[in-house]
Structure 1
Amino acid sequence: MGKLLNCTDESSRELKDCLKTKNYADIIKEQGKITDWIIDFVRFAPVIEPGDAFEPFQTKDPYLRIKRGEGSRVPLITGVVKDEGFLLNAFAMLNTKQAVDELNGNWRDVAPTILFYNNINMSVEERNMISDKIKEFYFQGKPIGPETAQGLIDSNSDRYFNYGSWEEAGLHSKFAPTYHYTLKFEGNYSITSFLFKLPNVVVSHGHDAQFLYKSYHVVPLPEAGTDSFTFSEHLIKLWVSFIKSGKPSDVYPNVEEWVPFTSQKPSTLVLDLPAENFPDPMKERMEFWKGL
């Protein structure tokens, strides 16, 4: 990063002082050029800071804080959309020949990087065993490609979003009412489809935003009389009822109540037309990651 921004790398202090003079937009722009692999880039993410640091923001592991109930013990809505991992980053992988070749020919080396377990303290044998289990679970001995595209989407979805949301819901539910959703409604527009110039509507990361508020300038507002408009009305009423009372009471017409999520009885509200409560969301996939 220092070299990309014309900073010296002779000492950490000089590098830090130089980077502090750079525009944040330039830092973010250059960040994308630093990669661990063909598709994914190195993230400069939040870190756990020492307690004696200047104005520290996060001094404890957020996971442990949630587990111990050290956060705000208030009602929580959390959830995911159907194919989170399509946008991040399965589509790009599947449409890059070199990436597909490496996924198939060098899985044990690539998987820990793209699925974020390369920095966990374990032996090479343990890491390889985890990689092999993931490959068998999602691809069942078949090559990674068009035929197994959903497996790659699901693996990215589960590692990046689904399991974290599922585990967060279970941990938080021990201290306050927790409600989990899975949005599957397509509508007639998708920001993912726009970005990748796809002919079909893809329900991936950020798809729910368009039904709650005006988001990107390219995203059209739902038109009156359409299913998208009806879905948006229901979703907004549901969120507003939660904001007012701490309980999502104004549920879709065909659903009497949103069944809370607990670690003993996981449940998700499938947001679609019609909506429905669904017990044990993605049970097999979530138990798989829990077992790793």
Structure 2
Amino acid sequence: MNYVGLIIVLSCLWLTAIASDPDDPLLVQLPQGKLRGRDNGNYYSYESIPYAEPPLGDLRLEAPEPYKQTWSDIFDATKAPAHCLQWDQFTSGDDKLVGAEDCLTVSIYKPKNSSRSSYPVVAHIHGGAFMFGAAALNGHENVMREGKFILVKISYRLGPLGFASTGDTDLPGNYGLKDQRLALKWIRQNIASFGGEPENIVLIGHSAGGASVHLQMLREDFGKLAKAAISFSGNALDPWVVQEGGRGRAFELGRIVGCGLAEDSASLKKCLKTKPASDLVSAVRNFLIFSYVPFAPFGPVVEPSDAPEAFLTQEPSDVIKSGKFGQVPWAVTYVTEDGGYNAALLLAEWNRYGKSGTVIEDLNDRWFDWAPYLLFYRDSKKTIKDMDDYSRRLRQQYLGNRRFGIESYWDLQQLFTDILFKNSTQDSLDLHRKYGKSPAYAFVYDNPADTGIAQALTNRKDINFGTVHGDDYFLIFENAVRNLELRPDEQLISRNFINMLADFALSDHGVLKYGECVFKDNVGSEKFELLSIHKDGCENKQYVEFP
């Protein structure tokens, strides 16, 4: 053997030795091969690990297929996860197209904590109305600083690519939910390789992520994937989650991108697979009546029972009543002004028909046109009269004879909170306490952030928005829409929330605690057991109706 050949052989042996070194925490062996992560000081990260085959070409608008490729070289797990292709509400300008179609990955964050040889696991589903958002947008520095659990962030298909549905077996929909479920299976099967405890996995999410958690839990075998779940400010019964009218939107999508008036669902899907993904996602703008309204034109649907790999074949309320869902401890939450995320859009300045002003002023003339889209009953009412009657009752109940304007904004925001979040949170908890066997918990959070989603959407600080969507959740997972610098009270709340997640994952009996407060189970309770979390602490309260 010549000198050069000897060097090459020795180099290969040296690299092999490194790759198989059990003392190298950045190197992880998986069935596909080895991957290398990054050392971030107080934690390790292993990002953008594929759990499914790229959903491209013939795999577009199909249930995800498990990742089958193998790595001959060491996989580079140091790249931040890509945004799934989306029309993003929070991207400024007219062109809101962001992301890539090849995006089905999980990203894992492991604390350095010498007191533990293995860790409980928190699996995370991001929010964004099933239309936008990304794993990378939810920070993990607060969580890693506490060093209590391994965090796994799930990326899944969004908008038309994740949820276009004709309601039949050819294009059943729910591809984003099927992505999430496959990711959970991957986590369960592989997390031990990263030092995670597969028997101690808690699934959590916020907004559409919270609704996704609930929908995942409605699968009867959910307990094989996770031991507990928490839905923050979103659940399966929210009116914007499982919607009707998907078939019409799917065929309209085809018309917009040049498929003409497709004869049937099969030909529509065949055509949609040939179009640029960017065209399909950019078509979202055609489903918005103004700004980003409605905020979820594509989302989960009820599939036909004979659909291949069907995810949801009954209305969520019927699934819960059947008792055939994942019987694991579950918590559902809301904040006192959750609806501020949606209502705040109406405070934006705009110039329409040559007239400047705020959108809320135009609501006086457009209430009957816009309310069904703003509040998601456009497709659930049988007639226009039913729709108008409901719009009239809502306006009368919350505003009486007053006009829409800055002075009546707080009441309009309460309408949005009740209809889009709070009422359905109570309805979900009510069903679980009647038909569930495992603990069902709830909390309400009331502690406004100095700046949050409402201020980000309106660029206004002269309005008291109260405690808005995300003011609690973004204390756990940092988000650019609110102050990253936490007040002293928020620092304590953040630690309490993070400890709550860790303890929930480790509890053998499904006990949920926040600080010194132990949640009370709603199953079998005549009154709602609701933990109130605020600036000064927490307290258990009972209600006949949510406050």
Under TM normalisation by the shorter chain, which class is it? 0.7 to 0.9
Specify the alignment match of 2:521 in structure 1: 260
Distance change in 2, residues 1:148/1:219 (3 Å): closer
Distance change in 2, residues 1:3/1:124 (3 Å): closer
Partners of 2:347 and 2:458 within 8 A in 1:
no
- Structure 2: which amino acid aligns with 1:240? A
- State the shift of 1:180 in Å: 0.9
Partners of 2:449 and 2:471 within 8 A in 1:
no
Specify the alignment match of 2:43 in structure 1: none
CA distance in 1, matches of 2:374, 2:458: 20
Candidates 305, 314, 323, aligned match of 1:60: 314
CA distance in 2, matches of 1:99, 1:204: 20
Bigger mean CA deviation after superposition, 117-126 or 228-237:
117-126
Give yes or no for the alignment of 1:210 onto 2:474.
Answer: yes
CA distance in 2, matches of 1:40, 1:196: 15
How far does the alpha carbon of each residue in 1:242-272 deviate from its partner, in whole angstroms, 9 at most, with x for none?
22221113x334x4x3233357311322221
Specify the alignment match of 2:259 in structure 1: 7
Give yes or no for the alignment of 1:84 onto 2:338.
Answer: yes
- State the shift of 1:50 in Å: 1.7
Distance change in 2, residues 1:87/1:24 (3 Å): farther
How many positions carry a matched residue from both structures? 278
How far does the alpha carbon of each residue in 1:117-156 deviate from its partner, in whole angstroms, 9 at most, with x for none?
2323445544443222211211122111111101111111
Specify the alignment match of 1:289 in structure 2: none
Gaps of 5+ in 2: 1-252, 351-356
- Structure 2: which amino acid aligns with 1:209? Y
Bigger mean CA deviation after superposition, 172-181 or 115-124:
115-124
- Structure 1: which amino acid aligns with 2:433? S
- State the shift of 1:98 in Å: 7.5
Specify the alignment match of 1:248 in structure 2: 512
- Structure 2: which amino acid aligns with 1:162? K
Partners of 1:50 and 1:56 within 8 A in 2:
yes
Partners of 1:211 and 1:222 within 8 A in 2:
no
Specify the alignment match of 1:110 in structure 2: 370
Candidates 71, 76, 86, aligned match of 2:325: 71
Distance change in 2, residues 1:129/1:187 (3 Å): closer
Specify the alignment match of 2:240 in structure 1: none
Bigger mean CA deviation after superposition, 197-206 or 235-244:
197-206
Bigger mean CA deviation after superposition, 108-117 or 68-77:
108-117
- State the shift of 1:87 in Å: 1.3
CA distance in 1, matches of 2:345, 2:451: 20
Partners of 1:103 and 1:144 within 8 A in 2:
yes
Bigger mean CA deviation after superposition, 55-64 or 6-15:
6-15
- State the shift of 1:85 in Å: 1.3
- State the shift of 1:54 in Å: 2.2
CA distance in 2, matches of 1:104, 1:191: 24
Say which SS state the counterpart of residue 33 (structure 1) adopts.
helix
CA distance in 2, matches of 1:221, 1:37: 30
CA distance in 2, matches of 1:73, 1:33: 41
How far does the alpha carbon of each residue in 1:56-107 deviate from its partner, in whole angstroms, 9 at most, with x for none?
222222221022222111111111122221112x111233557435532343
CA distance in 1, matches of 2:273, 2:324: 33
Say which SS state the counterpart of residue 282 (structure 2) adopts.
helix
Specify the alignment match of 2:500 in structure 1: 238
Candidates 170, 175, 178, aligned match of 2:440: 178
Partners of 2:448 and 2:468 within 8 A in 1:
no
- Structure 1: which amino acid aligns with 2:261? D
Distance change in 2, residues 1:281/1:17 (3 Å): farther
Who wins on radius of gyration, i.e. which is larger? 2
Aligned-residue Cα RMSD (Å) equals 3.0
Specify the alignment match of 1:34 in structure 2: 287
Partners of 1:104 and 1:143 within 8 A in 2:
yes
Specify the alignment match of 1:198 in structure 2: 460
Gaps of 5+ in 1: 285-292
Say which SS state the counterpart of residue 302 (structure 2) adopts.
coil
Relative to its length, the structure with more helix (as a share) is: 1
Distance change in 2, residues 1:24/1:169 (3 Å): farther
CA distance in 2, matches of 1:77, 1:269: 11
Partners of 1:103 and 1:110 within 8 A in 2:
yes
Distance change in 2, residues 1:109/1:147 (3 Å): same
Distance change in 2, residues 1:279/1:25 (3 Å): farther
Which TM-score applies when normalising by structure 1? Answer: 0.81
Relative to its length, the structure with more strand (as a share) is: 2
Give yes or no for the alignment of 1:277 onto 2:512.
Answer: no
Say which SS state the counterpart of residue 532 (structure 2) adopts.
strand
Say which SS state the counterpart of residue 506 (structure 2) adopts.
helix
Bigger mean CA deviation after superposition, 16-25 or 46-55:
16-25
Say which SS state the counterpart of residue 84 (structure 1) adopts.
coil
- Structure 2: which amino acid aligns with 1:60? Q
Higher relative contact order (CA 8 A, sep 6+): 1
